[in-house]
Amino acid sequence: MNVERLRELLEKLNEIKVLVVGDVILDRYLHGKVERISPEAPVPVVDVEREEVRLGGAGNVAKNLVSLGVKTYLTGVVGEDRAGEQVEELLKESGVVSLLAKDSRPTTEKTRVVSRSQQLLRIDREDRSKVGGEALKRIREALTETECDGIIVSDYAKGTITYKVTDLVREKEVFWAVDPRPVNKELYKGASLITPNEKELREMTDILSGDPVETLGLRLKKELEVDTLVVTRGPKGMTLFTEKVENFPARAKEVYDVTGAGDTVVAVLTAFHLAGATWEEACELANLCAGIVVGEFGTASVTPEELIEELDNEGC
């Protein structure tokens, strides 16, 4: 792909509307220094110097979309707590239209303790029970009433994505993509696109099988009756399954942190497909964007300017 073609596709992104539904997560980072071991136990003592919060899960998918210029809506659940307020604040700052439901359950939150850019510990706060009641009603309203060109189901197995939700997604009769979790495999039947990583692919087919990715991908594509399957494979790049199977090499120059890379891939693939890119072009751009975000710490997103510069630098 050349820069002229990329600019053409980027212009079309401004005309697209995408609704993201899924598990919204607040990523909290505690940055500090370690200079001593605790006298109470053989663990490091972290002197916290600063704290930051970022959108994670479905929120990060939405942020990736809006960063590219896509009109983006997000529905899911947050708690009636400070973490939920912070999610809403971050969505407003990023330009994502919030259609979130409030619930008595706590906002899903991942707190990472970091020293010198190395993660020492992660603390999770969550309720993985299925979303119901008024919160589910709000999600149903968002799915029913929001006009969009496509939907992304961002499933982190925290309780938002259920049969009731994916049934409504199918009823919209628009393109819908899924960033899946193996435990919910049956929910994704008939999806337009699913984007498992290689580990998830093996869990959804036969984890004990020594079959190659190409064989397992074809098996899963047929079983779930999906139109397109893209398997992300880390340093091996990604494999595209349409009427044929194609491999795309990784584009990362340096892998710093893979957090949120899957969010970026499903967002980029969906956005550019809806903009008229071929699947080959969409995979090339998703690989490029993933290569950018894994070179940064924590969840990240890519701007059109960064993408143009990266493509230009590669001389494609």
* Contact yes or no for 51/78 (Cβ under 8 A): no
How many Å apart are CA 160 and CA 76, to the nearest integer? 7
118 occurs within a structural domain: no
Question: Residue 205: which of 229, 185, 234, 188 has the closest Cα?
Answer: 185
Q: Residue 257's pLDDT is what?
A: 53
115 occurs within a structural domain: no
Q: Residue 302's pLDDT is what?
A: 87
210 occurs within a structural domain: yes
Q: Tell me 130's DSSP state.
A: P
114 occurs within a structural domain: no
Please state the domain count of the chain. 1
Q: Residue 252's pLDDT is what?
A: 55
How many Å apart are CA 73 and CA 95, to the nearest integer? 9
How many Å apart are CA 243 and CA 46, to the nearest integer? 52
Q: Which residues is 56 bridged to in the sheet? A: 25
Owning domain of residue 265:
3-24+57-104+129-314
Residue 191's Cβ-side half-sphere holds a number of Cα atoms within 13 Å equal to 29
Q: Residue 316's pLDDT is what?
A: 45
Structure tokens given for 101 = 């439901």
Of the residues 27, 103, 155, 263, only one is catalytic, namely 263
Distances (CA, A) of 272 to 8, 57, 204, 260: 11, 20, 27, 19
222 occurs within a structural domain: yes
Q: Residue 111's pLDDT is what?
A: 97
152 occurs within a structural domain: yes
Q: What is the CATH number of the domain that holds 67?
A: 3.40.1190.20
Q: Residue 258's pLDDT is what?
A: 65
Q: 211 catalytic, yes or no?
A: no
Written as tens digits, the pLDDT of the chain (316 aa) is 899 999 999 999 999 999 999 999 999 999 999 999 999 999 999 999 999 999 999 999 999 999 999 999 999 999 999 999 999 999 999 999 999 999 999 999 999 999 988 899 999 999 999 999 999 999 999 999 999 999 999 999 999 999 999 999 999 999 999 999 999 999 999 999 999 999 999 999 976 667 899 999 999 999 999 999 999 998 888 999 999 999 998 865 555 456 778 999 999 999 999 999 999 999 999 999 988 887 776 677 889 899 998 888 775 4
296 occurs within a structural domain: yes
Q: In what order do the strands lie in the sheet with 24-37?
A: 44-57, 24-37, 108-115, 118-125
117 occurs within a structural domain: no
Crossing angle of helices 304-314 and 279-293, in 10° steps, is 100
Q: Tell me 197's DSSP state.
A: B
